[in-house]
Structure 1
Amino acid sequence: MISLSQELQLMEDADRRARSYTAGIGTRPVFPTADALAHLVTFDEDLPDHGRDAAETLKLLDDYGSPATVETNGGRYFGFVTGAALPAAAAADRLVLAWDNAGLAHVTSPTAAKVEAVASRWVLDALELPDTAAVGFTTSAGAGTLIALASARRALLQRHGWDVDEHGLAGAPVIRVVASELAHVVVTKALRVLGFGTAQVVLAPTDVFGRVDPARLPPLDDKTIVVLQAGEVNTGEFDPFDEIIPAARAAGAWVHVDGAFGLWARASAVHRHLTDGVEGADSWTVDGHKWLNTPYDSAMVILADRDQLAETMTSDAAYSSTSADSQKNVTLEFSRRPRGIAIWAALRTLGRDGVADLVERTVAMAADISRKLQESGFTVVNRGVINQVIARADTPEQTARIVAAAQASGRTWFGTSVWRGEPVMRISVSSWRTTAADVDDLVDLLSKLRIDHA
């Protein structure tokens, strides 16, 4: 067994190594070198018959693991709409690890229960959603989508006199889903896991910008779940909530909004108009680890009907009966880490004006990238309403070569996507660490690569 003094020494070593890694942000290649990747073979050991030294294990992880990480925590990473972890949020996570409390209810951590309750209230305030809604702190928008759609189906069946908790789905009225033809893969995955077949999912046509077209919206009724987007993953566009949601509610449909990153636009007076009408939905999902810049494993599912969420996700047991709004009763996990504390720390240290500034500053930098890429001869495909830029070179082959060369350079990292059948480079500006100098370096690199790969 390890002694307390050895445990403290190990924690000090881990903290020293973490500080060293953080201090090196901006000096390493954004994507690891071939040499660093090759050394990952060091981890290919057999399970030891006898336990190895903890300090030596940590050293191994740092010596060979740290060099092969992707610097998502820096200012030059523009992939997957991922923000760098705010210092306050990362520090809070470290303290939470030391507590080692389960965040399922007051009984396992009074502190976690209280702080997550405050975080719930602040999230609704920041996003200007109904203050009577319930918030579940989940691992990801994917998990939140699963919860929201399960709650939606249960509620619609309940309105038609079907108790899914007692009778299951066999013989139940058929629930349809109307989703954007550009719905994110987490939505299609959640539908698949919940047993919605393709015959039950109708894809709504979108306009030239990637928004669901209200004029071509499929018929809706009181056995329909409508899934809309706040921030299409490529263009960053927002569905016209103020037109679609009233029509859906009038038909008795349930409206869910996938707002993984775009919902944070509501925190900015400059960009709030993009989400006009979104507060009229029944459920929403939003990530913390994207635009709010919390560590990974940080997201929220929000339901306007807090009772419906608690009834759908309840996990009370004889040995663990807690309040309906306990996090174990509004999320998938029973034994869960109190991930809402990092969100609380981020919101407390940023404040209302800090969240708005983060949104507005990154949107402005995305607009700058878009303008400068066009000046350099690239075709920018989207109109840039938010923090997303999708662009292409003269040919698909040239676009692919430029992206590959940029990724290999170590100076940046962003990925590719396909928009309307055309391959594009996809640049997301989400990090609090990104500066004007990072933007200039990115554009300078891409401009030179366009010439080199003409």
Structure 2
Amino acid sequence: MDELSLLQDADERARRYVAGADARRVFPEDSAIDALERFSERLPDTGRPDAETLALLDDVGSPATVASNGPNYYGFVVGATLPAAAAADRLVLAWDQTASSFANSPAAATLEKVAAGWVLEALDLPRESAVGFGTSATACTLICLTAARRTLLKRHGWDFDGEGLVGAPPIRVVVSEAVHITVKKTLRVLGFGTNNLIVAPVDEFGRVDPKRLPALDGSTILCLQAGEVNTGEFDPFAEIIPAARKAGAWVHVDGAFGLWARASKKLKPMTEGVELADSWTTDGHKWLNTPYDAAMAICRDADALAASMNSDAVYATSSSDSQKNLTLEFSRRARGVSVWAALRSLGRNGIEQLVERHCAQAQRIADGLKAAGFNVLNRVVLNQVVARADTEQSTTAIREAAQRSGTIWFGPTVWRGQSAFRFSVSSWRTTDAHIDRAIALMTRSWSELTPQNAASPEVAPS
């Protein structure tokens, strides 16, 4: 099979996969998982035909996928992929550009520069900020916190690039008691040591309590959250950040999904003050519904980010805002193009409508769960619903039954010491009808697996 025929075959298989997104089991059957053993081949001495390889990938791989690119997946704050973003990614793959600088790809450099400006507009963050398109929120947090440490050390007269950390003035890191694991991983990789982190206590909603905030100074990095991973709550930025900046601290905000609330006039007040931070991270594959491998490291001080990430060489110099000078990678794909496509296809109004629809759907789930007898544990201020049944055993049984059904998928969590489960609404494909089907399944599960509560369910308070 020639190259174009092979690509056409791949496209037809991809179209069939996407067309079946609504009807597909959300988590694969055991038989599909068992069939993955077919991939465990010895490396062939003689290469196999391309068409055979593609067929094996589809015939065995596709049935064993999790249908996160569908309407019935409520796990891990994962959006489906918008058509425009998916199509753009396919074309970018055909381009096969090293999207490090204008010299490597004028098209990619231009599109990612436009996308960076649009991201700042959509999120209403300082327009002078630099935006690096990285692989994930984890990688982008590493980028931002590297810039933070380097900048604070420079203020103390320390040459981080030349001297490294040996003998450097100590830098303290303050994190929320509810800090996301990826931030802790980043700090561990950067050598701060998890035992050395200073923990800021949180209130009953998972927000940093300003009254109990540890002391901050010019040697401190403070990590806050826009969208706590369970409750969706926001730290009180307007109270905390001005004081932190006055003390000379660097403030970083983990906004993997919650930062997109700023695109909604209705929800934006919850994020008041977040624009005062020094750096932010957010994902594309969550609420913006881009393909994976499209996250953003945003830094108010563009020069600080460029100096931290610079990778110019005598054979490859470029401008400070080239993506190779804003991210970890030199050789990189043009991942910002899918962000550009998503933003252009949605527009300001589309982003706002998407975010607000998901928040309304989360509230719809919460109301349905309460009516069935579940205890909803959070205020449902965003697109997250944390709930549990009457006991740990019934909570686990109901979640596992829902997962086995293949109809929906959501994952477990623990909130304030209680085992629970979490619904995250973030797929553009999810309609109110899908939400109602999920509620109906959960209601049936309550009746079947907690029969003592079926007759007169106790509705949890708001």
TM-score band w.r.t. shorter chain = over 0.9
Give the residue type in structure 1 aligned to 2:96: D
Once the two structures are superposed, the pairs formed by residues 49-68 of structure 1 within 5 Å of their partners are 49-68=45-64
Give the residue type in structure 1 aligned to 2:45: D
Match of 1:157 in 2: 153
Is 1:207 the counterpart of 2:213? The answer is no
Partner of 1:79, secondary structure, is coil
Match of 1:172 in 2: 168
2:272 to 263, 276, 280: 276
Partner Cα separation in structure 2 for residue 199 and residue 412 of structure 1: 39
Match of 2:362 in 1: 366
Match of 1:346 in 2: 342
Note if contact 1:214-1:240 (Cα within 8 Å) is conserved in structure 2: yes
Q: Deviations over 1:302-341 (max 9, x none)?
A: 0000000000000111111111110001000110000000
Aligned length: 450
Aligned-residue CA RMSD in angstroms? Answer: 0.7
Q: Deviations over 1:28-63 (max 9, x none)?
A: 111101111111011010001111100100000000
Q: Which aligned runs of 4 or more in structure 1 are off by greater than 2 angstroms?
A: none
Partner Cα separation in structure 2 for residue 243 and residue 368 of structure 1: 31
Once the two structures are superposed, the pairs formed by residues 49-448 of structure 1 within 5 Å of their partners are 49-448=45-444
Partner Cα separation in structure 1 for residue 163 and residue 363 of structure 2: 53
Note if contact 1:175-1:200 (Cα within 8 Å) is conserved in structure 2: no
Identity %: 62
Give the residue type in structure 1 aligned to 2:102: H
Partner Cα separation in structure 2 for residue 239 and residue 309 of structure 1: 24
Q: Deviations over 1:94-149 (max 9, x none)?
A: 00000001110011110000000000000000000011000000111000000111
Partner of 1:174, secondary structure, is coil
Is 1:20 the counterpart of 2:16? The answer is yes
Give the residue type in structure 1 aligned to 2:318: T
Partner Cα separation in structure 2 for residue 314 and residue 183 of structure 1: 29
Partner Cα separation in structure 1 for residue 402 and residue 99 of structure 2: 42
Partner Cα separation in structure 1 for residue 315 and residue 39 of structure 2: 41
Partner of 1:349, secondary structure, is helix
Give the residue type in structure 2 aligned to 1:52: R
- Structure 1 residue 199 displacement after superposition: 4.4
- Structure 1 residue 274 displacement after superposition: 1.0
In structure 1, the gaps of 5 or more residues are none
Partner Cα separation in structure 1 for residue 81 and residue 444 of structure 2: 31
Give the TM-score taking structure 1 as reference length: 0.98
Partner of 2:2, secondary structure, is helix
Partner Cα separation in structure 1 for residue 166 and residue 193 of structure 2: 14
Partner Cα separation in structure 1 for residue 40 and residue 438 of structure 2: 36
2:34 to 31, 35, 38: 38
Partner Cα separation in structure 1 for residue 23 and residue 432 of structure 2: 17
Note if contact 2:184-2:194 (Cα within 8 Å) is conserved in structure 1: no
Partner of 2:420, secondary structure, is strand
Note if contact 1:176-1:224 (Cα within 8 Å) is conserved in structure 2: yes
- Structure 1 residue 200 displacement after superposition: 3.1
Partner Cα separation in structure 2 for residue 29 and residue 274 of structure 1: 36
Partner Cα separation in structure 2 for residue 68 and residue 170 of structure 1: 48
Partner Cα separation in structure 1 for residue 76 and residue 176 of structure 2: 20
Partner Cα separation in structure 2 for residue 200 and residue 159 of structure 1: 22
Q: Deviations over 1:267-295 (max 9, x none)?
A: 00010011100000000000000000001
Note if contact 2:28-2:64 (Cα within 8 Å) is conserved in structure 1: yes
Q: Deviations over 1:139-174 (max 9, x none)?
A: 110000001111000000000000110111011110
Give the residue type in structure 2 aligned to 1:183: V
- Structure 1 residue 451 displacement after superposition: 1.5
Partner Cα separation in structure 1 for residue 18 and residue 149 of structure 2: 44
Judged with a 3 Å threshold, the aligned counterparts in structure 2 of structure 1 residues 199 and 32 are, in CA distance, closer, same or farther, namely closer
Partner Cα separation in structure 2 for residue 280 and residue 27 of structure 1: 45
Partner of 1:309, secondary structure, is helix
In structure 2, the gaps of 5 or more residues are 451-462
Partner Cα separation in structure 1 for residue 364 and residue 405 of structure 2: 22
